A and B are shown apart, each in its own frame.
Chain A
Amino acid sequence: MSQSNSTGSTRNMLYQRHTLAIRVMHWINVIAFILLLMSGLQIFNAHPALNWGKSSYNGQAPLLQMGALRDTQGQLVGVTQIFGHTFDTTGVLGVSADANGLPSARGFPAWITVPGAQWLSMGRRWHFFFAWLLVINGVAYLLYALASRHLTRDLTPTRRDWRSLGQSIKDHVRFRHPRGDEAKRYNILQKLAYLSVILGLFPLVIVAGLAMSPGLNALLPGWIDIFGGRQSARTVHFIAAWALVAFVFIHVFEVIISGLWNNLRSMITGRYRVPAQEIDHGKN
């Protein structure tokens, strides 16, 4: 096995990384998730507080609450309370600029909600439409991933992956990315991140969302107590949505630092250029 040979042959090699189905479903998911997040924050703004338990009025203070006060000069001040601690969040949470640039009382600011103005009924329409899209797309993805063996072949960690866990963490912290043949497969942290999103956070955010439906509550009375009640489910839905946002930030960060255009192309045309093998300096 000749090192220089394999380097030469992989330098300019474009290989088909993502199938058409995966690419289409990935971008549908991107659109649906962004719009669900933004319309979800619009809905949250109708009652910008999170409680734990079966109801919002159970004698316990909310875990999180956003509100507006007037200071001595009569100016609106945005106030956010988290676990009993109060923060001045004017400009972002509690009070932010409306369409005319004037301070207005609202939970999340207009630039992160759909629609921008406070409009609960329209926010709900957007939310439920894209919720259906996300769920149908997600189910199609799971069926495809099972049938095409994408889930077992590409995403399930092998024993070798598990052994590389420590090294992979070190590599990620130092922003080093696999090259050559190793770049053709997902590393262990990638696999774990994708699996926890596909099989963990997305199902969680969906089920917690469905738990808020009074109609579906009647399906099996009491089933939503797995979350601790409807208001707990609402809180879980909120936290899971932001956990997905955290995943997106890490995902996009890794996409950028490991070769933005190459990664983007692989999710658009499917073709990925395998980075050439590094010359071994004998460090390993």
Chain B
Amino acid sequence: MRYLIEHETILDYPQTVREHHIELRLAPRSDRHQQVLSCSIETEPAAELATYTDYFGNRVDYFCVIPPHTRLITRLRSDVETVKENPFSFEAVQPGEEQEWLHKAIRNAPPMNDFVLHRSLLTPTAMKLAEATSHAFPRREKERPVLESLQELLAWVPTVMEYRSGSTEVHGSLTTAVAQGGGVCQDFAHLFITVARSWEIPARYVMGYLDPGISQAGDTLTTHAWAEALVPGAGWIGFDATHNLLTNDHYVAVAVGRDSYDAAPQRGSFKGEASGAQPAVSVTMQEQQ
């Protein structure tokens, strides 16, 4: 598929702010699933953008607006081509050897440890979450193939939570979402990640876009979130727990991290009397011919 994505964020402040520094993780990544044909970011007031690649491999665009201002707008426009593939077409590793495959993958790339060891309010210890919410969490039988276990997990997450737009706060605790039985896509992704990590399978958070034709969010399109888990023989495979789907060519991935905090699309710091503004975000994703 080919998509034109536009993502605009408007920050309005009741008083002037100054010395405003912003980091954006908005540029879609390029990998074997998707190719970025064009990508541009503009800001209002106009600023000089610089870029670097962060620890998780995300492209970060950053800039500053020093003089006093009350409004800051960022606009991304990107043309991305996604590739349709069969997520099951890989050379599977024998179930008995999968654990060793994962251990080796982690040993060869120590940063992979983060995707197993990281715990936060967003991705807590599974046992504590289960206790706090009195849910029976699925256990993994070691002789079952990893992918099969993960698919069961994918189907299990929506039985615990239902999708409720605006029901939880950005970077809010996962325990709250599970306890109230409802959340948004971040919560679904975090729950999937939390359980996968308790099985010692590396799992990470993905922020990106989903074709509005499929998305539960419908008209109020914003960014979407899902999880990726490391599957022996295949590498990272995308799991969208909100829709109980393996990700496909309707998904455009932007940034990854240990949890939603690492992959936040926009982060800023400013000086001034105003407290933080509620960002007005509008996203469009149009299929291109």
- A and B interact: no
Contacts from B to A (Cβ < 8 Å): none
